[in-house]
């Protein structure tokens, strides 16, 4: 996916195929959020920001890594949902085949929840960077911190939906608890994104 053009990705997204879908879109929201944070950091790397150079460099380098991780999660999501589709295509002619198919579907469904679960954690890290960068960022690109926050918010809320829609197919107690914890953490991420956007808009109004 990382080598696709925007047009080819959108064509695939619009097609009647299992993937890419919402999970990959969520990961791309996160990749854009990380890229925006990195861009603001680069514009904040100048002599007049020298007092904060170490922080700015750390944010820049970490955001670049998180962007790459988000793209990897988009690819993982596509692979996971392809596995779900393949599991549903398994034969179910006798009781043995039905049991194998059911087990394969559950395993694939659990696998499909893992990329969005990981994405929720990644969004938290992107917001950490945005929160650190905001007070010291170049005011000429100040609004892009809010843009990053909103992209991160979209990533988190979309990832939550993709976790929740698959929870019904996961019976293992420990896995369900992990997935519910990730989904339940999203409201906190939304609040953090909102605070960032509100802070930016308040300064723009001055």
CATH number, position 127: 1.20.120.680
In the block, which residue shows the tokens 């999660």? 73
Name the DSSP class of 1.
Answer: -
Determine how many CB atoms are found less than 10 A away from the CB of residue 39: 17
C-alpha span between 1 and 155 (Å, rounded): 17
Determine how many CB atoms are found less than 10 A away from the CB of residue 131: 16
Q: Which domain holds residue 102?
A: 6-204
Q: Look at residue 25 in the predicted model and tell me its pLDDT.
A: 96
C-alpha span between 130 and 148 (Å, rounded): 8
72 lies in some domain: yes
143 lies in some domain: yes
C-alpha span between 144 and 28 (Å, rounded): 17
Determine how many CB atoms are found less than 10 A away from the CB of residue 55: 17
Per-residue pLDDT of the chain (206 residues; tens, 9 = 90+): 788 899 999 999 999 888 899 999 999 999 999 999 999 999 998 788 778 889 999 999 999 999 999 999 999 999 999 999 999 999 998 889 899 999 999 999 999 999 999 999 999 999 999 999 999 998 889 899 999 999 999 999 999 999 999 998 999 999 999 999 999 999 999 999 999 999 999 988 77
1 lies in some domain: no
C-alpha span between 146 and 36 (Å, rounded): 9
Q: Which token pair is 42?
A: 């680069």
Q: Which token pair is 179?
A: 């997935």
Q: Look at residue 48 in the predicted model and tell me its pLDDT.
A: 81
175 contacts: CB under 8 Å, gap ≥ 6: 110, 113
Determine how many CB atoms are found less than 10 A away from the CB of residue 36: 25
Question: CA–CA distance from 86 to each of 20, 76, 108, 126 (Å)?
Answer: 15, 15, 9, 33
Our count of domains for the chain comes to 1
Q: Which token pair is 91?
A: 């034969």
40 lies in some domain: yes
pTM metric for this prediction: 0.93
Angle (CA) 170-172-173 rounded to 5° is 115
């Amino acid at each position: 996916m990382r080598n696709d053009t925007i047009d080819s990705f959108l064509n695939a997204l619009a097609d009647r195929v299992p993937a890419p879908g919402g999970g990959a879109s969520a990961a791309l929201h996160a990749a854009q959020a990380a890229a925006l944070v990195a861009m603001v950091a680069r514009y904040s790397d100048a002599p007049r920001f020298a007092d904060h150079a170490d922080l700015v460099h750390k944010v820049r380098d970490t955001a670049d890594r998180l962007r790459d991780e988000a793209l990897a999660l988009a690819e993982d999501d596509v692979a996971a949902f392809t596995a779900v589709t393949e599991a549903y295509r398994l034969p179910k002619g006798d009781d043995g085949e039905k049991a194998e198919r059911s087990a394969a579907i559950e395993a694939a469904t659990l696998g499909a929840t893992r990329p969005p679960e990981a994405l929720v954690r990644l969004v938290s890290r992107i917001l950490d960077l945005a929160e650190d960068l905001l007070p010291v960022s170049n005011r000429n690109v100040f609004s892009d911190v809010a843009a990053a926050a909103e992209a991160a918010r979209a990533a988190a809320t979309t990832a939550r939906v993709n976790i929740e829609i698959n929870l019904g197919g996961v019976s293992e107690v420990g896995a369900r608890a992990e997935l519910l914890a990730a989904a339940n953490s999203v409201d906190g991420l939304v609040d953090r994104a909102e605070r960032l956007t509100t802070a930016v808009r308040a300064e723009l109004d001055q």
